[in-house]
Amino acid sequence: MSGSLAETELRGFARSGTEDRSQGVSRSLFWDTLRRLFSNKLAIVGMLMIGTVILVALTAPWIASQHPDKNGVYRAFPQDNKLPPSIDHPMGTDVIGRDMLSLVIYGARISLLVGVFAVSLAIVLGAFLGAVSGFAGGTVDNVIMRIMDIMISFPTVLLALVIVVILGPGLFNAMVAVGIVAVPAFARITRASVLGETGKDYVIAARSVGAGARRVLWRHVMPNTLSPIIVAASLGIATAILDAAALGFLGLGAQPPTPEWGLLLSRNRGYMFTSPWMVFFPGLSIMFLVLGFNLVGDGLRDALDPKLD
């Protein structure tokens, strides 16, 4: 790791030279990035938004008034089940009298899980393919990247739909499908930054002291390609949540009675004109969480790329 450490320090040095010299302390890239991130107001807003959703997801059993698997209070006439927002039910109730707020609270768990799982899958597969592609070059590179070109040509939701039909509908398969769809983006990003790093001195140094290709790639090159991947991961979680919600909306993602936000929206779509709250709040929740990840992703990009200052 000596090569990558030296590189990091060099970057830190270059940075402390260009801006606030007053501190004069050499910082690591990590702390430098963190400091920049926390000086970005929009990124802080984003972190607070994500934090809120995580907190809601963790405390769901205590703050929700009703478990999503339970029906609400049945009333004699079905139309009486759809209660508009009130103090008892701040987001109203759905067509079978379930408290919308409770559904939305439990839905937070699903959307967070979907986003993190899908992107983790995409990073593992995409970073591996991209790293091998960029490092090996030649035919291997050509074959892998052409396959990625082909995959990226299909509209994401359409590709995810077909994958879900192959695997069978359901939340887990939807997460896998959304993850696979995101693989090419991560492969391209990783490849580009691996290509950018391999020519650098520390790689040549590592090679010249006899490190094998595998060691050079995973121990020396990869740690230095992390920043674009981290940025892409944050923005990718946002996209993954939207894609999974779209699958749920089309009926091929999570299945009832899972309180997945996209599914809630689609199940209640028929009552849109009489009881708009049933559609409004799940969609608003999706937007809230996705916006949080987009804000943090943007902030991370600015923090990791000093050029933009």
Partner 1 sequence: MTQYLIRRLILVIPVVLGVTFFAYSMVLLTGDPATALAGQHATPQMRAALREKLGLDDPLPVQYGRFLARIAQGDLGTSLISRIPVATELRLFFPATIELALAALIIAIVVGVPLGVIAGYKHNSFADLGTTFGSLIGVSMPIFWLALILLWIFGLKLGWFPFGGRIDRSVDLQIITNLYILDSMLTLNVRALLSALHHLALPAIALATIPTAFITRITRSAMLDVLGENYVRTARAKGLEEKSVVSRHALKNAMLPVITVIGLQIGSLMTGAILTETIFAWPGMGRWIVNAIVARNFPVVQTGVMVFALIYVFVNLAVDISYGWFNPRIRYS
Return the DSSP state at 170.
Answer: S
* Cα separations in angstroms, 152 against 148, 159, 167, 176, 248: 6, 9, 20, 16, 22
* Cα separations in angstroms, 178 against 38, 253, 280, 296: 30, 10, 24, 21
Q: Which of 202, 296, 245, 239 is nearest to 3 (CA)?
A: 202
With contacts defined by CB under 8 A, how many residues of the chain interact with partner 1? 45
Q: From its phi and psi, is residue 287 left (phi > 0), alpha (psi between -120 and 50) or beta?
A: alpha
Give the range of 71-79, 128-136, 212-220, 270-278 binding partner 1 by CB under 8 A.
270-278
271 interacts with partner 1 by CB under 8 A: no
Q: Could you say which of 44, 152, 195, 205 contacts partner 1 (CB under 8 A)? A: 152
Strand ranges, E, within the chain: none
Q: x/- binding map, residues 215-254, to partner 1, per CB under 8 A? A: -----------------------x---x--xx--xxxx--
Peptide bond into 68 cis (omega under 30): no
CB closer to partner 1, 34 vs 150: 150
The first and second tokens of residue 224, run together, are 């230095």
Give the range of 18-26, 92-100, 202-210, 268-276 binding partner 1 by CB under 8 A.
268-276
CB closer to partner 1, 87 vs 308: 308
CB closer to partner 1, 70 vs 146: 146
149 interacts with partner 1 by CB under 8 A: yes
162 interacts with partner 1 by CB under 8 A: yes
**Are the beta carbons of 102 and 65 closer than 8 angstroms?**
yes
Peptide bond into 257 cis (omega under 30): yes
Q: How far is the CB of 279 from partner 1 (least distance, A)?
A: 6
Summarize as ranges the residues that interact with partner 1 (CB under 8 A).
42, 146-147, 149-158, 161-162, 165-166, 238, 242, 245-246, 249-252, 262, 265-266, 269, 272-273, 276, 279-280, 282-284, 286-287, 290-291, 294-295, 298, 308
